[in-house]
Amino acid sequence: MRFLVTGGAGFIGSNFVAKLMSENLGQVLVLDKLTYAGHLATLRRWEGHAGFRFVQGDIGDRLTVRRLLADFAPDVVVNFAAESHVDRSIDSAGEFIATNVAGSYALIDETLTYWQSLDGARSKAFRFQHVSTDEVYGSLGATGEFTETTPYAPNSPYAASKAAADHFVRAYHATHGLPITITNCSNNYGPYQFPEKLIPLALLNALEGKPVPVYGDGLNIRDWLYVGDHCKAILQVIDQGRTGETYNVGGNTERTNLDLLQALFAALKDERELIAQAGTFDTGIDYAGLITFVADRPGHDRRYAIDSGKLRAETGWEPVEDLVSGLRKTVRWYLSNLEWCREVTEDNYNRQRLGFGERASG
Ligand code: NAD
Ligand code: TDX
């Protein structure tokens, strides 16, 4: 199998590439623009491996996409490439529209032309797998779960841009027959997540004894899924999912942000020895005492919860990690990769508050 993986230098994409490479599942070509969120350091271990290639480029650059499709001749295109941070979309939505909407459109339109050029067997086996989010469904009240038929009601510019892309992908199936699947997943955590997101931000701040910012009252609920389990779900959908269908992916692990942070701090406390070895950190910090309530995120969705029954019934998917084992792996990974954190954030991010300052136009 030949996989074209867009956004493969980012968090989830790189974990997906690691799964393909370490399990020898096929040839991999990564197309990534290397924005602030994508780094070659994340893919370094695959450099020089037979079966791995990296190209720096934009999914919205039709000529590059066309050339790569023709030269590499993929059996599967998996689209992870996106602007992914809600807070940045509040500051400025332009890049979200450029990549998530226009970029996804250019990618599927070029993919359609490529797919139409394939002969019978290859055309039948081809798949475009689009990676999306539960945030397209908006916010839940105290009860209920998102299903695949929940109406779209995105609240952040990020979610709106992902919703638009989902609609185009679906429309290319309905109109042109392009063999697509869409996965809508809940909050991921694990290795290689850029430290702007809640878990790595809180983990690094706690280690350094810095305030851990909690938006609003800290009672917003997210459903957390270890990234490896998300990648497993994507592979199973590519393998067994029906074309034209959407599959929700979630961990049945709903936590308020405050409860999640307590679980993270417990995982950190379990790793005192590793913390002592990892640097000059104080191992006696009262992490919970670092929690600092800050102004709420504008348009902050209150609760997400996912019904992944369709995915489970049709593919047999089950997550392997629970929150305790997943956080343990995550904490150990960050403690062993502090240099990666430094490398990917230097010159572009110092864990400052995003999404609540001056709105930039564009
Ligand atoms: P990320 O920000 O860590 O990585 C995104 C990657 O895409 C980066 O490597 C970046 O350089 C690349 N990229 C950005 N614009 C590009 C462009 N125009 N052309 C090519 N590459 C480009 O994001 P992530 O958290 O790994 O998310 C990956 C996908 O999964 C996204 O589509 C996101 O919406 C979706 N998703 C994320 C989560 C989550 O919790 N992180 C949950 C559900 C769905
Ligand atoms: O400093 C913080 N303090 C805080 O309280 C940050 C960064 C976040 N939060 C809150 C906001 C959310 O309720 O924590 C929760 C999680 O925030 P993020 O890590 O920014 O994730 P979220 O906004 O839920 O979106 C994530 O999951 C769905 C990903 O970033 C998206 O790409 C994905 O689609």
**pLDDT tens-digit map of 23-69:** 999 999 999 999 999 999 999 999 999 999 999 999 999 999 999 99
Partners of 31 in the beta sheet?
Answer: 6, 55
SS3 328: helix
User: Residue 357 pLDDT more than 90?
Assistant: no
Is 35 close to ligand 1, i.e. is its CB under 6 Å away? yes
Distance CA 329, CA 327 (A): 5
Is 6 close to ligand 1, i.e. is its CB under 6 Å away? yes
pLDDT at 279: 78
CB atoms within 10 A of CB 64: 17
Q: Average of pLDDT values for 348-362?
A: 84
* Mean of per-residue pLDDT scores for the chain: 97
Distance CA 148, CA 250 (A): 12
pLDDT at 8: 98
User: Residue 334 pLDDT more than 80?
Assistant: yes
Whether residue 182 lies inside any domain: the answer is: yes
Contact 127, 75 (CB under 8 A): yes
Tokens of 44: 């370094």
Q: Which amino acid is at 101?
A: V
- State how many domains the chain has: 1
Contact 64, 109 (CB under 8 A): no
pLDDT tens across 203-228, in order? 999 999 999 999 999 999 999 999 99
Whether residue 276 lies inside any domain: the answer is: no
pLDDT tens across 114-164, in order? 999 999 999 999 999 999 999 999 999 999 999 999 999 999 999 999 999
User: Residue 243 pLDDT more than 90?
Assistant: yes
Tokens of 135: 């945030």
CB atoms within 10 A of CB 249: 29
Whether residue 137 lies inside any domain: the answer is: yes
Distance CA 246, CA 231 (A): 16
Whether residue 279 lies inside any domain: the answer is: no
Q: Which atom of ligand 1 is least distant from the CA of 249?
A: 43
Q: Which atom of ligand 2 is least distant from the CA of 218?
A: 5
Distance CA 102, CA 93 (A): 13
If you count them, how many residues does the chain have? 362
Percent of the chain with pLDDT over 70: 99
pLDDT at 359: 75
Is 37 close to ligand 1, i.e. is its CB under 6 Å away? yes
Atom 21 in ligand 2: which residue has the minimum CA distance?
A: 197
Percent of the chain with pLDDT over 90: 97
Is 183 close to ligand 1, i.e. is its CB under 6 Å away? no
CATH number at residue 236: 3.40.50.720
Distance CA 321, CA 300 (A): 27
Distance CA 247, CA 316 (A): 13
Is 39 close to ligand 1, i.e. is its CB under 6 Å away? no
User: Residue 320 pLDDT more than 70?
Assistant: yes
Pairing relationship of beta strands 187-189 and 212-215 according to DSSP bridges: unpaired
Tokens of 236: 């199973």
pLDDT tens across 1-27, in order? 999 999 999 999 999 999 999 999 999
pLDDT at 362: 63
Mutate to test the pocket of ligand 2, among 12, 197, 199, 224 (most ligand atoms within 8 A of CB): 197
Whether residue 349 lies inside any domain: the answer is: no
Pairing relationship of beta strands 76-79 and 127-133 according to DSSP bridges: parallel
pLDDT band at 280 (very low <50, low <70, confident <90, very high): confident
pLDDT at 356: 83
Distance CA 15, CA 38 (A): 13
Active-site residues: which are they?
A: 134-135, 158
Whether residue 217 lies inside any domain: the answer is: no
Mutate to test the pocket of ligand 1, among 4, 5, 6, 12 (most ligand atoms within 8 A of CB): 12
pLDDT at 273: 94
**Helix, strand, coil in percent for the chain, rounding step 5:** 45, 15, 40
User: Residue 258 pLDDT more than 80?
Assistant: yes
pLDDT at 116: 98
pTM of the model: 0.98
Burial class (CB in 10 A: 0-12, 13-18, 19+), 347: exposed
Q: Average of pLDDT values for 265-274?
A: 97
CA neighbours closer than 13 Å in the CB half-sphere of residue 199: 32
CA neighbours closer than 13 Å in the CB half-sphere of residue 189: 31
User: Residue 358 pLDDT more than 80?
Assistant: no
The single residue listed with the structure tokens 């990564």 is 30
Of the candidates 157, 180, 155, the residue with the CA atom closest to the CA atom of residue 79 = 180
Contact 75, 27 (CB under 8 A): no
Contact 7, 81 (CB under 8 A): yes
Q: Average of pLDDT values for 257-262?
A: 98
What is the residue range of 60's domain? 2-193+223-253+303-320
Mutate to test the pocket of ligand 2, among 215, 302, 345 (most ligand atoms within 8 A of CB): 215
Partners of 297 in the beta sheet?
Answer: none
Which ligand minimizes its atom distance to the CA of 184? 1
Backbone phi, then psi, for 254, in 5-degree steps?
A: -80, 130
Whether residue 82 lies inside any domain: the answer is: yes
Whether residue 204 lies inside any domain: the answer is: no
Q: Which amino acid is at 172?
A: Y
Atom 8 in ligand 2: which residue has the minimum CA distance?
A: 198
